[in-house]
């Protein structure tokens, strides 16, 4: 069954299924396996593998045996065995790849405990399944209200109905053990169905809900991560990270799973370093390790009587001093081995992409230049007396400007053309066409 809401909008842009991984298509499943053996024909006498992989709500996948020899393909909706009644799921994988998946997850394909597939789902089965799924969201709101009334320290994160609507599974998270016996009675009386409570961890809850991490990408637990290993603060210590809970915690409230990604690399690099508890003995005093730089291979030491001043040494130099101390010898001081760390020059980044500066709005705006600035006349500049020129302009402002004569060494110079009227300029408008602003909108004759 294809999800009808996965179509495009009126503008042609995809609007998404809006079901957050619970629709009937394979496009939004978690870790969907591509069946690259689907187009290959079996040899003569070979029987197709009789187990299939079926997906339910929130990416829950289980294996079922096809005892009825049904012709199944990816995307078919089937009715499977459940206790009690039957459940409705979607086929996600068939053929020989199912055997590999079962071996990977530790499921014995020859076991008799594998549940069976009853039939392909009819339209009536699909209608009952859809009606049950439509009840989940309003039930979740009411279930949270009942839990709050009983003052239980728990959070109901999701509800999953069985395909025939006979049972509802409530997924919840809690820090401690919760006595929900009275809560189950209230749920059964309120919703008139069989109730099953299942506790999930905070990491599993974040995987079911999804979201965007601090790195700007989708959460690993909701996209590809399946095994949730324990993460402790020692992983942050080995990587020289600050123990800030706000930075190290994910959306689940626990330490981020990505702290384990590079831990093995740091552990291998730290094998070349002396221990952090290394103590160096010098004639000037005993020194203790204060800091490490794993990538540069440096260690900082400080004297016991002067912990404010640190001396940086290479790991080879530390091992050399340790070898001297092992022979009951003291080196003169750390200053003989200490390195002088020169500050790296600041790199001059150039604007190669042509982007504007981020501080372009911080500069004050330039004031508009005043149009009343007085220009120096040509005769005043020639005489060299600016004050006299200003007096001349003030005394006779309507005096015509003196045009400079052409140079004698340029015999081909044209005469002064300023005397000719220019009809394109408003200042030299011909006298027979007076300017009339009142007749702008009149039609031309």
Query: Is residue 50 assigned to a domain?
Result: yes
What does the pLDDT look like over 326-352, one tens digit per residue? 988 898 888 888 765 545 556 666 666
Angle at 65 between CA 62 and CA 66, to 5 degrees: 125
For 427, phi then psi, to 5°, come to: -75, -25
Instruction: Centre a 10 Å sphere on the Cβ of residue 97 and count the other Cβ atoms it contains.
Output: 17
CA–CA distance, 298 with 289 (Å, rounded to integer): 11
Query: Is residue 280 assigned to a domain?
Result: yes
Chain mean position to CA 316: 41
Closest CA to 221 of 439, 380, 58: 58
Long-range contacts of 144-149 (CB under 8 A, 24+ apart): 146/183, 146/186, 146/187, 146/190, 147/183
Ranges 57-66, 282-291, 395-404: which has the least confidence: 395-404
Count of residues for the chain? 445
CA–CA distance, 164 with 127 (Å, rounded to integer): 10
Domain-ending residue, one of 336, 355, 376: 336
Residues 191 and 216 in one domain: no
Domain-ending residue, one of 247, 269, 291: 269
Which position has the token pair 């080995």?
Answer: 238
Residues 94 and 158 in one domain: no
Residues 278 and 260 in one domain: no
Under 8 Å between Cβ of 311 and 302: yes
What does the pLDDT look like over 86-114, one tens digit per residue? 999 999 999 889 999 899 888 998 888 89
In 3-state terms, what secondary structure has residue 109?
A: coil
User: Could you say which DSSP state residue 428 is in?
Assistant: G
Q: Say if pTM beats, i.e. exceeds, 0.85.
A: no
Closest CA to 89 of 69, 67, 118: 118
Residues 315 and 250 in one domain: no
What does the pLDDT look like over 205-241, one tens digit per residue? 888 888 899 889 989 988 888 888 889 888 998 888 8
Angle at 45 between CA 43 and CA 47, to 5 degrees: 90
Residues 72 and 103 in one domain: yes
Query: Is residue 371 assigned to a domain?
Result: no
Domain-ending residue, one of 336, 367, 384: 336
* Residue ranges making up the domain that contains 160: 130-200
Maximal CA-CA distance, the chain? 119
For residue 84, whether the previous peptide bond is cis, meaning omega lies within 30 degrees of 0, is yes
Residues 248 and 225 in one domain: yes
Domains identified in the chain, total number: 4
What does the pLDDT look like over 275-319, one tens digit per residue? 888 889 998 889 999 888 888 889 999 998 888 889 899 988 899
For 144, phi then psi, to 5°, come to: -65, -35
CA–CA distance, 93 with 74 (Å, rounded to integer): 6
Residue 147 has pLDDT above 90, yes or no: yes
Residues 116 and 39 in one domain: yes
Residues 195 and 246 in one domain: no
Residues 301 and 279 in one domain: yes
CA–CA distance, 159 with 86 (Å, rounded to integer): 17
Mean pLDDT to the nearest integer, 374-382: 48
CA–CA distance, 198 with 142 (Å, rounded to integer): 18
CA distance from start to end of the chain: 75
Query: Is residue 430 assigned to a domain?
Result: no
What does the pLDDT look like over 263-279, one tens digit per residue? 999 998 888 888 888 88
Residues 41 and 117 in one domain: yes
Query: Is residue 2 assigned to a domain?
Result: no
Residues 108 and 147 in one domain: no
CA–CA distance, 232 with 239 (Å, rounded to integer): 12
pLDDT classification of 57: cutoffs 50, 70, 90: confident
Pairing relation of β-strands 279-281 and 286-293? antiparallel
Ranges 20-34, 64-78, 280-294: which has the least confidence: 20-34
Query: Is residue 287 assigned to a domain?
Result: yes
Under 8 Å between Cβ of 402 and 379: yes
Residues 97 and 140 in one domain: no
pLDDT for position 380: 45
Query: Is residue 375 assigned to a domain?
Result: no
Query: Is residue 70 assigned to a domain?
Result: yes
């Amino acid at each position: 069954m294809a999800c009808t809401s996965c179509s495009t909008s009126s503008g042609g842009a995809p609007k998404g299924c809006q079901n957050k991984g619970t629709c009937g298509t394979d496009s939004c499943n978690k870790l969907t396996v591509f069946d690259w053996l689907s187009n290959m024909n079996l040899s003569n006498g070979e029987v197709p593998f009789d187990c299939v992989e079926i997906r339910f709500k929130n990416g829950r996948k289980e294996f079922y045996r096809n005892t009825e020899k049904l012709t199944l393909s990816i995307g078919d909706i089937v009715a499977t065995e459940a206790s009690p009644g039957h459940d409705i799921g979607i086929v996600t994988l068939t053929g020989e790849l199912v055997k590999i998946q079962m071996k990977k997850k530790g499921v014995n394909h020859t076991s008799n405990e594998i549940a069976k597939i009853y039939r392909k789902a009819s339209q009536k089965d699909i209608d009952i399944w859809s009606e049950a799924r439509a009840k989940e969201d309003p039930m979740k709101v009411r279930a949270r209200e009942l839990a709050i009334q009983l003052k239980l320290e728990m959070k109901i994160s999701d509800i999953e109905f069985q395909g025939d609507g006979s049972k509802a599974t409530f997924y919840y998270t809690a820090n401690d053990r919760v006595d929900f016996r009275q809560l189950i009675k209230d749920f059964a009386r309120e919703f008139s169905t069989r109730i099953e409570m299942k506790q999930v961890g905070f990491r599993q809850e974040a995987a079911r809900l999804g979201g965007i991490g601090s790195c700007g990408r989708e959460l690993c637990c909701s996209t590809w991560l399946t095994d949730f290993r324990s993460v402790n603060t020692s992983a942050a210590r080995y990587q020289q990270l600050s123990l800030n809970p706000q930075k190290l915690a994910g959306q689940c409230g626990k330490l981020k799973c990505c702290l384990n990604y590079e831990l093995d690399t740091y552990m291998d690099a730290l094998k070349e370093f002396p221990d952090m508890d290394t103590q160096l003995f010098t004639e000037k005093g005993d020194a203790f390790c204060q800091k490490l730089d794993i990538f540069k291979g440096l260690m900082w030491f400080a004297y016991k009587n002067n912990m404010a001043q640190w001396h940086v040494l290479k790991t080879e130099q530390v091992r050399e001093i340790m070898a001297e101390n092992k022979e009951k010898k003291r080196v003169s001081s750390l200053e003989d081995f200490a390195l002088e760390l020169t500050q790296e020059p600041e790199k001059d980044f150039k604007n190669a992409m042509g982007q504007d500066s981020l501080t372009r709005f911080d500069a004050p705006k330039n004031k508009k230049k005043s149009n009343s600035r007085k220009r120096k006349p040509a005769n005043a500049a020639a005489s060299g007396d600016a004050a006299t020129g200003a007096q001349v302009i003030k005394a006779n402002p309507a005096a015509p400007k003196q045009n400079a004569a052409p140079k004698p060494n340029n015999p081909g110079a044209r005469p002064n053309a300023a005397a000719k009227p220019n009809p394109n300029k408003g200042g030299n408008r011909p006298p027979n066409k007076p300017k009339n602003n009142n007749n702008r909108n009149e039609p031309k004759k």
